[in-house]
Amino acid sequence: MKSIKLLFLFCLLGLSAALKTQAAYTEEYRPQYHFSASSGWIGDPDGLIRYNNIYHLFWWGHAISSDLVYWSQLPYPMNGGDGSFTYFSGSVAVDKQNTSGFGSIAKPPMVAIYTANNNFSGLQTQCLSSSTNAAYFYYYAGNPVLNLNSTSFRDPDVFWNAQTGQWIMAVALSSQHIIQFYASQNLIAWQYLSAFGPAGARDADWEDPGLFQLPVNGDTQNTKWVLTVNKGPNKVQYFVGNFDGTNFVMDALTQSFLTNGVGLDGSVFVDFEGSNYGNWTTTGTAFGSGPAQGTLPAQNPVNGYLGHGLVNSYNGGDTSTGTLTSPAFTITNHCINFLIGGGNNPGLTCINLLVNGTVVQTATGNNDETLRWSGWNVSQWIGQTAQIQIVDNSTGGWGHIDVDQIIFSDVLMNFNLEQANWVDWGSDFYAARVYRDYDGVEPCAIWLGWMDNWQYANNLPESWGQGAESIPRNLGLVPSPRGYQLVQQPLPRLQKLRGALVSVGPCTIQNTMNLSQFQPPANTYELDAVFNLSATNQNFGLNLCVGGTNKVVIGYDAATANVFLDRRASGNVSFSPSFPNIVTAPFLTHAGYIEFHIFVDQSSIEVFVNGGQAVLTSLIFPDPSSLGLQLFSANGVTTLRSLSAWNLASIWH
């Protein structure tokens, strides 16, 4: 009876909100099956819980759903604050045993645990608000419950750990790239347990940590702990390991991948771990007598290299110059990858590929001391003799170069990111958090992410407000040479939105051909296309949202084993110089096919590759009249094995 009354309350509140805002869901670029707020800003998905068969989403607005497909927005939930702070990200816990005393066993409270960011001092503290009706949360008079007198301490993720019988909090010391763990018996008094980090990618603040268990190969009796950490402006990384109730410890394979590159595709040409450069030759003084062991005197901290050694030409400061040249080798792989940082001085601080003594490829740094992956497609020079030369001919500011871990591979890693396990390779998936299932019925973990990017979040061309959440995704782990790999798949319940099935294939594709069999009335559809992978030079895929010269391109380049999403001509791209881009995901497969499972919804695209082994999520803003679809094969013939497409209904009407 209690759950029926609660659902009735939700329905009344949701109907009231829906009636007020229904007409607002037809605006240009408004998502039709992703959740977006009726108006105003939406940010990180917070307080994701399932309780009494209702799913809650906070941001700190509030919406509810019975199935994670259809949503009703409720009134603003937070009450009683004094106006001196802003609600930052956090969690909601269902305190079934009333450990907090904010309710009763008969009427368990919901407790919101969040960061209060002081509007004047910038101090970030962890605070509570509680609710006994699942709608309105009231500020706790004893706040804050956790205070380190820090301006970089935020985004608590709180859950009940049945193994130890206590509440656990994971919270970020953002600028230090550390996740702290705390325990509590009542959600009010918190005891420090341990810390994790720095590790993985750390060229920006850490935010929105999450700690949860996932099954391996779908086996719920075999689970691993996963710690997710968000890193601005738009990336989520993950660590797999074990949490014993006090400490989170990475698995050995995960740690070896992150710190030494174990499991990377290809063979290491040089890792610069020796005491000298071996058979490489040097000129000048910039490179010293051997690899540097990290940061050199008077240098800003160097990060992102693997192992202990790297090439660092800050030997003696920026005024030193010189070259470091490899012995000759024969190019046998399609790609050469490397980590690079230091000065952005093309031709002066750089790494070059020389073929027959001529520079045919080059790369430079980013004017910072973080090494990120870069690389070249060298397939046109396979069989030829080459050398790699690292150059420092600059004596001004940032007049040095950092290089590490040169790898010969058939997978291009030219994505300008640090060594890490990345959740999503697109431009717009951030602040992801899992649903905490207080009903105990979900067969697997589900999460949402914020579809946005802090490079342009305040400038999106959306008339109703700003931002939307991703579609809900099922999560799991599969073994790989680099440790357990996260796999994401669309929530199957979304299939209830499908219209009539349109099937195409098998057929052969050469150049570009219109996909005339599927003509959506709007850019709100789902598409699943499977292409045969049969040659090393294939380049194939789909052009979506086609109109005039505009299109969104999703494809696979077999020569570099990269999936790519190109939105440079996707429509409205002028609102930020960071927006028109190509993103890539390294994806070497021996399955013999590439599957693109695609969700397009007015202003976003989500691409799940081969069952969610790689995912790319990006915003797009095509003209509403750009509704064309095309297939393409740029290098010869590609076979489309099958294509299925569905128009998807609006969740608002």
Q: Phi and psi at residue 428, in whole multiples of 5°?
A: -145, 60
Whether 238 contacts 254, CB under 8 Å: no
**Cα torsion 386, 392, 393, 397: sign:** positive
622/546 Cα distance (integer angstroms): 8
- 44 catalytic? Reply is yes
The residues with which 210 forms a beta bridge, in sequence order, are: 228
Give 109's contacts (C-beta < 8 A, 6+ positions apart): 95, 98, 100, 102, 103, 130, 131, 132
Q: Phi and psi at residue 481, in whole multiples of 5°?
A: -60, -20
C-alpha distances in Å from residue 256, one per residue of 114, 199, 268, 306, 371: 34, 12, 15, 10, 18
280/327 Cα distance (integer angstroms): 6
41/507 Cα distance (integer angstroms): 45
Whether 518 contacts 587, CB under 8 Å: no
Whether 376 contacts 414, CB under 8 Å: yes
**Cα torsion 38, 44, 46, 49: sign:** positive
Whether 337 contacts 407, CB under 8 Å: yes
419/372 Cα distance (integer angstroms): 7
Transcribe 206-235 into DSSP letters: EEEEEEEEEEETTEEEEEEEEEEEEETTTE
**Cis peptide preceding 60, ω within 30 of 0:** yes
93/166 Cα distance (integer angstroms): 12
Give 338's contacts (C-beta < 8 A, 6+ positions apart): 351, 363, 373, 374, 375, 403, 404, 405, 406, 407
Q: Phi and psi at residue 634, in whole multiples of 5°?
A: -85, -25
224/215 Cα distance (integer angstroms): 7
47/246 Cα distance (integer angstroms): 23
What the block records as the tokens of 65 is 């759903």
Amino acid at 539: N
187/190 Cα distance (integer angstroms): 7
What the block records as the tokens of 223 is 């689970």
Q: How many CB atoms lie within 10 A of CB 513?
A: 14
Whether 487 contacts 611, CB under 8 Å: yes
468/30 Cα distance (integer angstroms): 9
Whether 336 contacts 353, CB under 8 Å: yes
Whether 553 contacts 371, CB under 8 Å: no
Catalytically active residues are 44
